[in-house]
Structure 1
Amino acid sequence: MKVILAGYPKTGTKSIAKALTILGYDVYDYMEHFWYHGKQWENILTGNGNINDFREMYEDVDAITDTPVFYFWEEIHKMFPDSLIILTVRDEDAWIKSWCGQMHHLKTGIAFRLIWTFSPHGRSLHRYFDRHCIALFGFSLPYVWSAPHLNELLMRSRYRQHNLNVMQNAPKDKLLVYQVKDGWEPLCQFLGKPVPDLPFPTKNQGATVYKTLLKDNKILKQLHRETMVVGTLCCILGVFATYKICTGGRLSKCISFLYQAASRRCFHF
């Protein structure tokens, strides 16, 4: 472990994850935490894990970003004391507006809702997301079409407390307090890396996280394929069931066949 991103979500975490990748780091972001260590994180968030789990989870990873690792930056650093810590920050009003916009996007965007409904791994992703929303942010994520209730006062308080905690308790020689607008220079100087001849990446602007991940992230592509396959088979089942009902036929064999076909077609790496 070389780099721990301790910044709150919506402080440029997706941009930093991409920047670290460009600089040659193997990065675990939100989807990787879910896909590779979802069970361990569930144990940690429900009080059944311990600090030693972090070493097993991340000893072969260069950098970790986003939820839920930012909240446990101190415990993770104890396991990897040579790692560097980056605290991404932004203006509080801009941050809360962006955070609420992200939640609104999850509420109104059909893509994630379809994944949570039709993809087998997508339903696990929803449970994982809801678990750490309750534990870390103080709200639950409703399952399908209703909106999460956000306590803005609580979110602002937790944001300030978290940033202050990192700045007070992280080793000064291993901490960079950073804003994405500062670009490559302070980040590369801190990491001891040459500045790339590329524009600094800007990711998830306007809460476009689904489009960003679907383009770049193999795990979300997997969930997207599952959604397309299962959703299509459900549509076929619905049409066929309607036909059989109208013609008086039996459905049991047909339902069993389509269910088995859906299970076989859910792709794996």
Structure 2
Amino acid sequence: MKVICAGLPKTGTKTMASALRMLGYSVYDAPEHLLYQRETWVEIFDGKHDNNIFKKMYKDIDAVVELPACAVWDQILEAFPNSKTYGIPNFHIYLAICRLMSPSLYGYWIMLMKCRKACFGYFANTLCINEMLTRSAYRRQEAFVRSVCPQDQLLVYNVSEGWEPLCKFLNKPLPEVAFPHLNKNSQIVHSSIGLKSMEELKKKVRDDVMQRAKILGFCLLGIIFGVMWTMFT
């Protein structure tokens, strides 16, 4: 683990994940956490592990971004004390919490609820976001990051600043390509970077919906057959 991104959702996290990948880092963003570590994260939120679990979870990963890692960034830093951390002083209010594409994916929904509780201190839902509590959560996160992270390992950074401060902080050469800007206004930009995990998530949703639709269809056929049998016997 080399880089821990402590910024909460809607603080340029998708852009940051893309930039780190372009710099050669292996990155776990929200889709990777969801797909590959979901059960372990649920256990973490249920108090079944201490921060030593992160050494096992992320032993081959260079950077973590977004939910749920940002909720316990300080614990991940304790597990990887030489990692560098970045936080964001200017943020967009978290008013567009993502909706899962299939309500039947109960396990993913549970994890999402636990992530929101850990980050914001209350169970935000997709229909009603408490703007006052959410703004307070962002301010607490910023103050906490500034007070806890060692200053020589902290970059207070806004993605609008581009490559230069980030590359200087990470001791990386400046890329010859433009700095990425992803997920503006909560619209996921589909690109080759990170697309595989998003497509995997969509496939899981599609498969889940189709499976449950088949089960529901068979149940309905059974009910119809039962009614007809009763009527004609």
Structure 2 length normalisation: TM-score?
A: 0.85
Residue number in structure 2 paired with 1:152 = 131
SS of alignment partner, residue 103 of structure 2: helix
Q: In 1, Cα distance between the equivalents of 2:192 and 2:170?
A: 29
What is the deviation of 1:245?
3.1
Residues 1:239 and 1:36: Cα distance change in structure 2 (over 3 Å):
closer
What is the deviation of 1:189?
0.8
Post-superposition Cα deviations, 1:69-113, rounded to whole Å, max 9, x if no partner, equal 11212221111111111112325xxx11xx11x23x63xxxxx33
Post-superposition Cα deviations, 1:207-240, rounded to whole Å, max 9, x if no partner, equal 113x548983323322322433454562796499
Post-superposition Cα deviations, 1:184-207, rounded to whole Å, max 9, x if no partner, equal 111011111111111111111111
Paired letter, 2:9? P
What is the deviation of 1:42?
1.2
Ranges in structure 2 where 5+ consecutive residues have no aligned partner: none
Residues 153-232 of structure 1 mapped to structure 2, 5 A cutoff: 153-209=132-188, 212=190, 216-232=194-210
CA RMSD of aligned residues (A): 2.8
Q: In 2, Cα distance between the equivalents of 1:213 and 1:49?
A: 35
Q: In 2, Cα distance between the equivalents of 1:27 and 1:88?
A: 18
What is the deviation of 1:155?
1.4
Residue number in structure 2 paired with 1:8 = 8
Question: Which has the higher relative contact order, 1 or 2, with Cα contacts under 8 A spaced 6 or more apart?
Answer: 2
Residues 1:244 and 1:34: Cα distance change in structure 2 (over 3 Å):
closer
Task: Assess if the C-alpha contact under 8 Å between 2:68 and 2:115 holds in 1.
Answer: yes
**Count of residues paired in the alignment:** 228
Q: In 1, Cα distance between the equivalents of 2:19 and 2:182?
A: 10
SS of alignment partner, residue 116 of structure 1: coil
Post-superposition Cα deviations, 1:101-128, rounded to whole Å, max 9, x if no partner, equal x23x63xxxxx33x333xxxx4322121
Paired letter, 2:129? L
- Corresponding position: 1:130 with 2:109: no
Q: In 2, Cα distance between the equivalents of 1:130 and 1:154?
A: 16
Residue number in structure 1 paired with 2:36 = 36
Q: In 1, Cα distance between the equivalents of 2:55 and 2:68?
A: 15
Q: In 1, Cα distance between the equivalents of 2:72 and 2:209?
A: 37
Task: Assess if the C-alpha contact under 8 Å between 2:124 and 2:130 holds in 1.
Answer: no
Task: Assess if the C-alpha contact under 8 Å between 1:31 and 1:219 holds in 2.
Answer: yes
Q: In 2, Cα distance between the equivalents of 1:55 and 1:198?
A: 33
Paired letter, 1:137? F
Structure 1 length normalisation: TM-score?
A: 0.74
Whose helix proportion is higher, 1 or 2? 1
Q: In 1, Cα distance between the equivalents of 2:32 and 2:86?
A: 19
Q: In 1, Cα distance between the equivalents of 2:205 and 2:37?
A: 22
Task: Assess if the C-alpha contact under 8 Å between 2:8 and 2:66 holds in 1.
Answer: yes
